[in-house]
Structure 1
Amino acid sequence: MPIAQPISGLLNIDKPPGLTSHDVVAQIRRLLNTSTPSLQNRHRRHDQISNASPKVGHTGTLDPFATGILLIAIGSATRLIEYSHTWEKTYQTVFILGASSDTDDATGQISKTTYPKPKMSIEPTRTQIQAALHQFIGPIKQVPPAFSAVKIAGERAYKIARQANLSGRQGSNPTLQPRSIIIHSLQITHYAHPKLSLAITCSTGTYLRSLARDLGTVLSTGAYVQELCRTQIGPHKLTQSIKLKNLTTKQLKERLLPATALIFHLPQITLPDDNVAQFIQGQTIGEQGTTMNHTNNTLSLRSIDLPSPTYQTSQDDNSTTFAIFNQSSTLIGIAKLDPLTHLLHPVKVLIT
């Protein structure tokens, strides 16, 4: 009997409103569990069939009220999630001007903005809003919302904020440090006060609730997010997503993208068969006495035709990250290549 291959890959899910990202992960896990072998199969030899439930995780959370793309990694693909964090994300959102929310979205306690005179209100023009938005484009520092999953001394900020609200302690919301983000583009798609519709492309780690809050401060109107839909993450688009409510075990397997969908942007090295075994064992390729076979000749790693050194380089060292494949074009792991020594160091081994 052939050995069962563990399920692994990436799902592009269209998350509905009202569910947390964890809820979606749990639902996918339940679907996978229903497709595990029956009890009688579990008596078969362990080398013939795998009964362990695969790991499930997401590449980036969406707030419960938000909709749109939620990329779900399954099995060994969960080990590649970190390589998606450089991808840009695109959103369609609606801000409400003239009011604020303690959660910076429509689910919180809404407070209308008060103005110096009772009958006075501020309705900024489209030109004024465009000018205000311009200062948020590019690399900026952004303070996450008080109600966020950011940890403060080991505790989630939203738990601290919630406890402060329940106890009625004013000014007891958590103090969060600003974070570096990049907003690549901000486009007004529609404006009819108080509703402001925007198309936004930004880096991982950007909070659009914080953007609404900060825009409201600049305009002196207050603002919060009423609607939020994520329409793209890297190359993955909402038009390619599958509705969660329509997802069956059969569809899950049919729509599952290969794990390589998470590392398509990395440069690749294909190892000769002799070096694949060394890589799987965690050995550095290119060390003294270690060679690579290429076109029937034996030569050092330094001699092979490597991709340009201008590929993605980590910020904490001078090595370059590569996706490693065997001769059958199967992804076997991730490695870092030292451009000075040309030693290839395994970072993640995905097959055994």
Structure 2
Amino acid sequence: MNYDFEAGEILLLDKPLTWTSFDLVKKVRNSLRIKKIGHAGTLDPLATGLLILCTGKFTKKIEEIQAQEKEYTGTITIGATTPSFDLETEVDSTCDIAHITEEELRQAAEGFVGVIAQIPPIYSAVKVNGERAYTLARRGEEAEIKAKNIEIKSFEITRIELPEVDFKVVCSKGTYIRSLARDFGAKLGCGAHLSKLVRTRIGNYKLEDALSVEDIMRIKDERIAKTRPDSN
């Protein structure tokens, strides 16, 4: 496939575990020598899945793409909480979950469907008085983060093997699945944290159509080969 990165391309990438969204943007930019590139919708380092990169004139489409609904799958571990609401930080409290039933889990999930007020995690990129919340959190400082309205379009429980609960969520822009996991645990009265997250869709763009980092390196090699004198 021939790419024209200056004219504009929309690249679907599968972000690897532990990589930041910027790590992936940097890898693609440097490997393919793209001058203008940006991503539509940040993924946490401990999340994997669909990250959309726009190049050249198509960077104007970033805001439009970010506004589209998102779909995620993942795992919530109930009965234990962490300060970051995921595995970035250590478990700081536990609770007995022997009494939790499948019906209670499904009812709790259904209770989040609709427009809800959600407080973003302190370990997030939300700005508080000009600083990123995660910067304050890592310094051990407290910060007041205001709730914002988001929409959970569906929250489906797909597997129950306590303490793990697998799910699929369709939601609006700005939704923090880590916060949803925290609130899900709070509703059950036993606490919870997010232990796995994969973004599977943004609007009509799907993870199954995404390129891997290995694919990017192959495209790089193909472009280099075409510039060699003997390539003709």
Distance 1:129 1:121, change over 3 A: closer
Larger Rg: 1
Distance 1:121 1:105 in 2: 18
In the other structure, the counterpart of 1:199 is 168
| 1:240–1:28 distance in 2 versus 1, CA, 3 Å | same
**Deviation digits for residues 326-347 of structure 1 (CA, Å, limit 9, x no counterpart):** xxxxxxxxxxxxxxxxxxxxxx
Q: Distance in 2 between matches of 1:56 and 1:192?
A: 42
Give the residue type in structure 2 aligned to 1:54.
K
Distance 2:5 2:161 in 1: 54
Q: Answer whether contact 1:98 1:122 (CA < 8 A) is retained.
A: no
Secondary structure at 1:229 match in 2: strand
Match of 1:135? Answer: 111
Q: Is the 8 A contact 2:5 2:55 kept in 1?
A: no
Q: Relative to 1, partners in 2 of residues 1:244 and 1:61: Cα closer, same or farther, differing over 3 Å?
A: same
Query: For residues 279-319 of structure 1, what are the alpha-carbon distances to aligned partners after superposition, in whole Å with 9 as ceiling and x for unaligned?
Result: xxxxxxxxxxxxxxxxxxxxxxxxxxxxxxxxxxxxxxxxx
User: Does 1:62 find its partner at 2:43?
Assistant: yes
* Secondary structure of 2:92 counterpart: strand
Would the alpha carbon gap of residues 251 and 10 (structure 1) be closer, same or farther in structure 2, given more than 3 Å must change? farther
2:102 aligned partner = 126
- Select 2:184's aligned residue among 194, 203, 215: 215
Q: Give yes or no for the alignment of 1:83 onto 2:64.
A: yes
> Structure 1 residue 122: deviation in Å?
4.2
Q: Where in structure 1 are there 5+ consecutive unaligned residues?
A: 34-52, 115-119, 165-171, 255-352
* Counterpart residue number, 1:160: 136
When residues 11 and 133 of structure 1 are mapped into structure 2, their CA distance, relative to the original with a 3 A threshold, is same
Q: 1:140 to 1:252 in 2, by over 3 A?
A: farther
Cα pair 2:69 2:202 within 8 Å, conserved: yes
Aligned to 1:27: 27
Q: Quote the offset at 1:69 in angstroms.
A: 0.3
4+ residue runs of structure 1 moved beyond 3 angstroms? Answer: 120-123, 251-254
Tell me the secondary structure at the aligned position of residue 105 of structure 2: helix
The aligned amino acid for 1:158 is Y
- The runs of 5 or more residues in structure 2 that have no matched partner are 224-232
The 8 Å contact of residues 132 and 218 in structure 1, kept in 2 or not, is answered as yes
Q: TM-score, normalised by structure 2?
A: 0.89
Percent pairwise identity: 36
**Length, aligned pairs only:** 220
Q: Distance in 1 between matches of 2:135 and 2:32?
A: 31
Alpha-carbon separation, structure 2, partners of 1:244 and 1:126: 39
Query: Could you say what secondary structure the match of 1:161 adopts?
Result: helix
What TM-score results when the alignment is normalised by the length of structure 1? 0.59
Could you report, residue by residue, the CA deviation over 1:150-170 in whole angstroms, capped at 9, with x for unpaired residues? 001110000001001xxxxxx
* Structure 1 residue aligned with 2:123: 147
Structure with higher RCO (Cα < 8 A, 6+ apart): 2
> The residue matched to 1:242 in structure 2 has which SS?
coil
Match of 2:139, SS?
helix
Letter in structure 2 aligned against 1:133 = A
Superposition CA RMSD, Å: 2.0
Letter paired with 1:87: Q
> Residue by residue, what CA displacement relative to the aligned partner does 1:99-136 show, whole Å, maximum 9, x if unpaired?
0011100121212424xxxxx54441111011111221
Query: 1:190–1:54: structure 2 CA closer, same or farther, 3 Å change rule?
Result: same
Partner residue, 2:213: 244
SS at match of 2:138: helix
Query: CA separation in 1, counterparts of 2:103 and 2:114?
Result: 19
